[in-house]
């Protein structure tokens, strides 16, 4: 048994962890099962009723001086057990401490009954072996008792192919991509997807094509046409791509196809620069061409969810039945009776002229995901102006006969950009829209003015992604451009990346001094030398990554990973300040502390990968202050 494996005489279930190549032991889950085993023993003795088994939760203590972790079981179980919380806490603590090999150094009962758990340093330090062996797969560790995971589709960004990726869409791109990475780490089979709104009947796309044509041929500009540099760029590219064609003779449909193709290429390129890739670029028009739109509407008619009768709907509001009439000009030959499924009104599927309404494509797209491609769940990530889309699409899912839990829309809120502490409208001086590529370039050029263009784009991408992800997706956020371009501790991106670079520097110096270790090369007893509170706090924080991934996958709060990265980096800087790593006169302690550095590097790099940012091994910048430690 490794030093981290508990040896209580109370028998607890074997921890089974899947998702990575190594059978990782999870610290919090180990404590959870130890407490569970003690509760089970007290249940078996008749001291506790059986219905308190699921009331155990291991959490952080409010103050590190109070212990390593806390458990509120005595409080929440008091009513069912019929005993005062402190009495329950005393019984549980006595059971947990009964064995001399207990991993608990002490268990204090605080306040009304909280159990503050103090762990033996050797128990905590032993988890280093697990981290080193798990390596890059550390985030993927999960209990085998987790719910079965399936195949999911995540659609995000999906900007119409008549415009570029803007800074507003950048938040959805960063959030969607990070969520996909988290889902994969949590064990899901994930297909990120981009939906191309390229229906040939789209009036928007036709107007875009006419705008491009007018620029290319210097023709009169269409009313309400699309203006801006990007439209001129597309016009120039079309002319350059077809130099021998008689462009003036080409119909609008030809211009639409070429303009759309070039715009999508631009979107792909910008998203790739931002570190976002999709498994599928799904064409709306492909569903019309394949007949899926017609088939899906026929399915709705067959199951009674759509009909061609005159519009009527009986709905109940505030306990009263109301009869709603549709305006004559909104009438159509085929209606989705979506009010049956929670929508606020029925929806036209086919217009009076027989052309499909936009929602007809949505119906077919839902059928494609859940019916044809058999995803266990489909997500769509949309911007803040799409709240009304939720009941409509939920109704489509149910009208097609699929359970409501197989589909979910996630809304992200707006982002406000600040310069010099004031709101900064993100438009260029000529009034054109500010693209995501502009933001990446501006941050990179200002933060690394002497770097190559490639390096500037890396810096700009890393900073933009991190900043977009620092706040929960469902809250408004401020993006401070001035802070984003600073190479100092104030900038959280450089702060966390510098921690990784600092570790790489320490490990390089260790190797030069002859210290090259791995999980198998260090004897278990060496880890028992790790007793400093900052060493132990750093190990515990690194071991929290799988838990953070599981939480993010459950409620989509990927912003926690930026907080975790900052906390882990801060914990490392504190460790570095207090604990000299390379000490020639203490080779065994040096090995143990090198293992700590390696573990933290694993945790940081894995977190960066989830966030979609790089893990530089060298950064030419000032070290975080205060730093008193100097490696020899």
> Residue 314 belongs to a domain with what CATH number?
3.40.50.620
Burial class (CB in 10 A: 0-12, 13-18, 19+), 439: buried
417 versus 201: the higher-pLDDT residue is 417
**Do 341 and 370 reside in the same domain of the chain?**
yes
The predicted pLDDT at position 6 comes to 39
User: Would you say residue 573 has pLDDT above 60?
Assistant: yes
Band of the pLDDT at 623, cuts 50, 70, 90? very low
Reduce the DSSP state of residue 448 to 3 states and report it: coil
The predicted pLDDT at position 202 comes to 75
* Residue 186 in domain: no
Distance in angstroms (rounded) separating the CA atoms of residues 112 and 114 = 6
CA angle 231, 456, 177 (to 5 degrees): 70
**Do 367 and 319 reside in the same domain of the chain?**
yes
**Do 391 and 456 reside in the same domain of the chain?**
no
Buried b (16+ CB within 10 A) or exposed e, 499-534: bbbbbbbbbeebeebebebebeebeeebbbbbeeeb
The predicted pLDDT at position 416 comes to 93
The predicted pLDDT at position 620 comes to 72
The predicted pLDDT at position 630 comes to 38
Mean pLDDT for 208-212 is 94
**Do 501 and 606 reside in the same domain of the chain?**
yes
Domain count, the chain: 4
Mean pLDDT of the chain: 88
Mean pLDDT for 203-226 is 92
Mean pLDDT for 309-320 is 52
**Do 513 and 547 reside in the same domain of the chain?**
yes
List pLDDT tens digits, range 501-540. Answer: 999 999 999 999 998 887 777 788 888 999 999 999 999 9
- Residue 87 sits in a domain whose CATH number is 3.30.1360.70
The predicted pLDDT at position 318 comes to 54
* Residue 551 in domain: yes
* Residue 433 in domain: yes
Rank 62-71, 120-129, 354-363, 600-609 by mean pLDDT and report only the highest: 600-609
Rank 326-340, 452-466, 517-531 by mean pLDDT and report only the highest: 452-466
List pLDDT tens digits, range 71-119. Answer: 999 999 999 999 999 999 999 999 999 987 889 999 999 888 889 999 9
In 3D space, the residue among 285, 299, 219 whose CA is nearest the CA of residue 253 turns out to be: 285
List pLDDT tens digits, range 140-175. Answer: 876 555 555 689 999 999 999 999 999 999 999 999
**Do 460 and 523 reside in the same domain of the chain?**
no
Burial class (CB in 10 A: 0-12, 13-18, 19+), 222: middle
Tokens of 358: 């936009």
Torsion of CA 126, 132, 137, 139, to 10 degrees: 50
* Residue 106 in domain: yes
Band of the pLDDT at 408, cuts 50, 70, 90? very high
Beta bridge pairs of residue 69: 60, 117
Least confident of 66-80, 139-153, 233-247, 601-615: 139-153
**Do 303 and 402 reside in the same domain of the chain?**
yes
State the pairing for strand pair 415-419/477-480.
Answer: parallel
Instruction: Among 355, 389, 411, give the residue marking a domain's end.
Output: 411
**Do 440 and 544 reside in the same domain of the chain?**
no
Band of the pLDDT at 379, cuts 50, 70, 90? very high
The predicted pLDDT at position 428 comes to 54
* Residue 401 in domain: yes
Distance in angstroms (rounded) separating the CA atoms of residues 116 and 391 = 46
User: Would you say residue 322 has pLDDT above 70?
Assistant: no
Instruction: Among 426, 450, 484, give the residue marking a domain's end.
Output: 484
The predicted pLDDT at position 16 comes to 47
Helix (H) or strand (E) holding 553: helix 545-555
Q: How many residues does the chain have?
A: 632
The predicted pLDDT at position 632 comes to 33
The predicted pLDDT at position 565 comes to 98
* Residue 46 in domain: yes
**Do 363 and 471 reside in the same domain of the chain?**
no
* Residue 518 in domain: yes
**Do 586 and 553 reside in the same domain of the chain?**
yes
Which residues have CB under 8 Å from 504's CB, separation 6+? 601, 617, 618
**Do 37 and 104 reside in the same domain of the chain?**
yes
In contact, 58 and 26? CB cutoff 8 Å: no
User: Would you say residue 325 has pLDDT above 60?
Assistant: no
The predicted pLDDT at position 354 comes to 81
List pLDDT tens digits, range 123-137. Answer: 999 999 889 989 999
Mean pLDDT for 354-375 is 95
The predicted pLDDT at position 621 comes to 56
Instruction: Among 119, 140, 175, give the residue marking a domain's end.
Output: 119
* Domain residue limits at 515: 492-611
Contacts of range 419-422, beta carbons closer than 8 Å, 24 or more positions apart: 419/481, 419/482, 420/482, 421/482
623 versus 87: the higher-pLDDT residue is 87
CA 427 → CA 415, 484, 602, distances in Å?
14, 18, 40
* Residue 213 in domain: no
Least confident of 32-46, 311-325, 542-556: 311-325
**Do 296 and 407 reside in the same domain of the chain?**
yes
User: Would you say residue 622 has pLDDT above 70?
Assistant: no
Mean pLDDT for 590-618 is 97
The predicted pLDDT at position 4 comes to 43
């Amino acid at each position: 048994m490794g030093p981290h494996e508990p040896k209580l005489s109370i028998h607890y279930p074997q921890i089974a962890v899947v998702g990575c190549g190594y059978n990782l032991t999870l610290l919090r889950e180990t404590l959870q099962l130890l407490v569970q085993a003690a509760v089970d023993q007290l249940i078996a003795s008749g001291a506790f009723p059986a219905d308190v088994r699921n009331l155990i939760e291991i959490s952080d203590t409010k103050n590190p001086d109070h212990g390593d972790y806390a458990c509120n079981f005595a409080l929440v179980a008091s009513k069912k057990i019929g005993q005062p919380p402190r009495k329950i806490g005393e019984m549980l603590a006595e059971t947990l401490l009964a064995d001399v090999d207990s991993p608990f150094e002490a268990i204090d009962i605080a306040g009304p009954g909280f159990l503050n758990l103090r762990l033996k340093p050797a128990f905590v330090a032993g988890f280093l072996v697990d981290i080193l062996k798990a390596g890059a797969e550390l985030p993927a560790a999960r209990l085998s008792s987790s719910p079965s995971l399936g195949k999911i589709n995540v659609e995000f960004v999906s900007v119409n192919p008549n415009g570029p990726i803007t800074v507003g869409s950048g938040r959805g791109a960063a959030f969607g991509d990070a969520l996909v990475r988290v889902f994969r780490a949590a064990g899901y089979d994930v297909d990120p997807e981009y939906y191309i709104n390229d229906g040939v009947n789209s009036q928007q796309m036709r107007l875009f094509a006419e705008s491009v044509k007018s620029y290319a041929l210097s023709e009169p500009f269409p009313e309400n046409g699309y203006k801006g540099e990007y439209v001129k760029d597309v016009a120039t590219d079309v002319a350059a791509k077809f130099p021998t064609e008689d462009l003036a003779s080409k119909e609008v449909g030809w211009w639409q196809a070429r303009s759309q193709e070039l715009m999508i290429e631009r979107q792909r390129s910008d998203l790739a620069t931002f570190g976002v890739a999709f498994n599928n670029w799904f064409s709306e028009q492909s569903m019309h061409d394949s007949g899926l739109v017609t088939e899906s509407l026929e399915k709705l008619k067959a199951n009674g969810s759509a009909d061609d009768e005159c519009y009527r709907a009986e709905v109940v509001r505030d306990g009263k039945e109301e009869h709603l009439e549709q305006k004559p000009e909104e009438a159509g030959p085929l209606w989705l009776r979506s009010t049956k499924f929670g929508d606020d009104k029925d929806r036209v599927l086919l217009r009076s002229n027989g052309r499909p309404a936009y929602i007809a494509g949505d119906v077919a797209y839902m059928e494609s995901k859940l019916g044809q491609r058999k995803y266990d769940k489909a997500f769509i990530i949309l911007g803040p102006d799409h709240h009304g889309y939720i009941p409509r699409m939920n109704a489509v899912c149910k009208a097609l006969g699929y359970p409501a839990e197989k589909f979910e829309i996630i809304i992200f809120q707006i982002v406000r950009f600040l310069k010099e502490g004031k709101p900064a409208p993100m438009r260029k001086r000529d009034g054109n829209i500010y693209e995501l590529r502009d933001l990446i370039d501006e941050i990179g050029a200002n933060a690394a003015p002497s770097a190559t263009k490639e390096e500037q784009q890396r810096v700009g991408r890393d900073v933009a992604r991190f900043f977009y992800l620092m706040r929960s997706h469902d809250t408004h956020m401020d993006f401070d451009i001035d802070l984003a371009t600073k190479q100092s501790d104030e900038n959280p991106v450089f702060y966390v990346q510098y921690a990784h670079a600092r570790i790489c520097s320490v490990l390089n110096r260790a190797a030069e001094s002859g210290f090259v270790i791995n999980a198998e090369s260090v004897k278990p007893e060496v880890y028992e030398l790790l007793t400093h509170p900052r060493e132990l706090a750093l190990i515990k924080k690194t071991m929290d990554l799988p838990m953070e991934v599981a939480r993010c996958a459950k409620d989509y709060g990927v912003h926690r990973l930026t907080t975790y990265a900052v906390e882990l980096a801060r914990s490392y800087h504190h460790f570095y300040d207090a604990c000299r790593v390379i000490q020639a006169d203490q080779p065994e302690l040096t090995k143990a502390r090198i293992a700590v550095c390696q573990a933290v590097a694993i945790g940081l790099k894995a977190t960066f990968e989830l966030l979609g940012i790089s893990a530089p091994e060298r950064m030419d910048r000032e070290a975080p202050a205060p730093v008193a430690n100097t490696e020899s």
